[in-house]
Amino acid sequence: MQVSVANQAPYLTSDAHLRHDPHVQFAILGSGSSGNATLAKCAHTTLLIDAGLSSKQLVARAQKLGVEAIDGILLTHEHGDHVRGLKTLLKQRNIPLYTTSATAHVLRETGIVGSWHTFEAGQAFAIGDVTVQSFSILHDAVDPVGYVLRCGEKNLGLISDAGHVTHSVTQHLQGMHGLYLEANYDDDLLAADTKRPWSIKQRISSRHGHLSNRQAAELLENISHAALRHVVLGHLSSDCNCRQIATRTMRDVLTSKGLADVQINCACQDETCGWWQL
Ligand SMILES: [Zn+2]
Ligand SMILES: [Zn+2]
């Protein structure tokens, strides 16, 4: 049975297939400045990474992908575009929440009630079939983190909302089979943008802001390898980036390393594009 989604893509797999092949799969429910959420699935465990869409959209888009139950929610940081649907979702469903102690503290103060499982950035822990490794990233939030999810022989690295790539980030993201990378803005488009005041542009491009295409490409150059299968670019600015430029920037890096077969896609804000399988 093929899962039904609006824009069915060739990389979409069915639930029947999953039962026999417990590889890691991931899907972006939505990504951009209006909200971010990602699903990752391995064997019997399904995780949601961030909940920045409305609760209604989170549930609807997950259902489109055949997902009814979520075993845990991993949060990267407390910004609204990553937690917008959390409060309502947790009123409807009792899903365990995983985040750093500092981020949990801030979110509790906003009235979010949940089953909290806190950790310190850099710690690893297990949720069902998945081993989660957290790592610190630089961003203007209290304690932002990225994640590596490992299941069997496969692993998926996720980094979003990072102003600067540190040595630690590069080390943690070595050897990934799948990557979700922030590619927020193109340097030239951000410089030419007339909607944003100078102070906002400074914040975006600062060491605690967001990753540009150039920064994401430099990271990709340092971590890509022959077993890398999928790169999904996320958090693209609708004004200061475009999918063609972002994709081409990454493609150039991978081609120069002899890795032209790696799949590169951009996440959408308003719909999910289906599963990518590692
Ligand atoms: Zn943020
Ligand atoms: Zn964000």
Asked if pLDDT for residue 65 goes beyond 90, the answer is: yes
Q: pLDDT confidence of 22, banded at 50, 70, 90?
A: low
Which DSSP category does 185 fall into?
Answer: B
- Distance in Å, CA 45 to ligand 2 centroid: 25
pLDDT digits (tens, 9 = 90+) for 107-116: 999 999 999 9
Distance 35 CA to ligand 2 centre (A): 7
- Asked whether residue 187 is domain-assigned, the answer is yes
Q: Report the 10 Å Cβ neighbour count for 89.
A: 23
pLDDT digit string, tens, across residues 239-274: 999 999 999 999 999 999 999 999 999 999 999 989
Residues 6+ apart with CB under 8 A from 229: 177, 178, 262, 263, 276, 278
- 139 falls within a domain: yes
Return phi, psi of residue 230, to 5°. -130, 135
Whole-number pLDDT of residue 23: 80
Residue pair 49/146 in contact (Cβ under 8 Å)? The answer is no
Q: Which ligand is nearest to the CA of 145?
A: 1
How many C-beta atoms lie closer than 10 Å to residue 252's C-beta?
12
Which tens digits make up the pLDDT trace of 185-238?
A: 999 999 888 899 989 988 898 889 999 999 999 999 999 999 999 999 999 999
Could you tell me if residue 4 is inside a domain? no
Using pLDDT thresholds of 50, 70 and 90, give the confidence band for residue 14: very low
Distance 140 CA to ligand 1 centre (A): 7
Q: How close is the Cα of 14 to the center of ligand 1, in Å?
A: 33
Order of strands across the sheet that contains 154-159? 124-127, 130-136, 145-151, 154-159, 178-182, 230-234, 263-266
* Span from the CA of 214 to the centroid of ligand 2 (angstroms): 18
- Is 3 a member of any domain? no
Q: How far is the CA of 83 from the centre of ligand 1 (A)?
A: 10
Quick one: DSSP state of residue 241? -
Q: Say whether pTM exceeds 0.75.
A: yes
CA distance readout (Å), 120 to 40, 114, 135 = 22, 18, 9
Q: 208 CA distance to ligand 1 centroid (A)?
A: 9
Judged by its nearest atom, the ligand closest to the C-alpha of residue 50 is 2
Evaluate whether residue 7 is within a structural domain: no
Domain boundaries, position 43: 15-277
269 occurs within a structural domain: yes
The CATH number assigned to the domain holding 126 equals: 3.60.15.10
Cβ count near 202 (within 10 Å): 11
Residue 242 located in a structural domain: yes
| Distance (Å) from CA 242 to ligand 2 centroid | 17
Is there a domain that residue 31 lies in?
Answer: yes
Phi, psi (degrees; rounded to nearest 5) at 168: -60, -45
* Domain count within the chain: 1
Average pLDDT over residues 107-135: 97
* Helices of type H across the chain: 15-20, 55-64, 80-83, 86-92, 101-109, 167-172, 187-192, 198-205, 213-223, 243-256
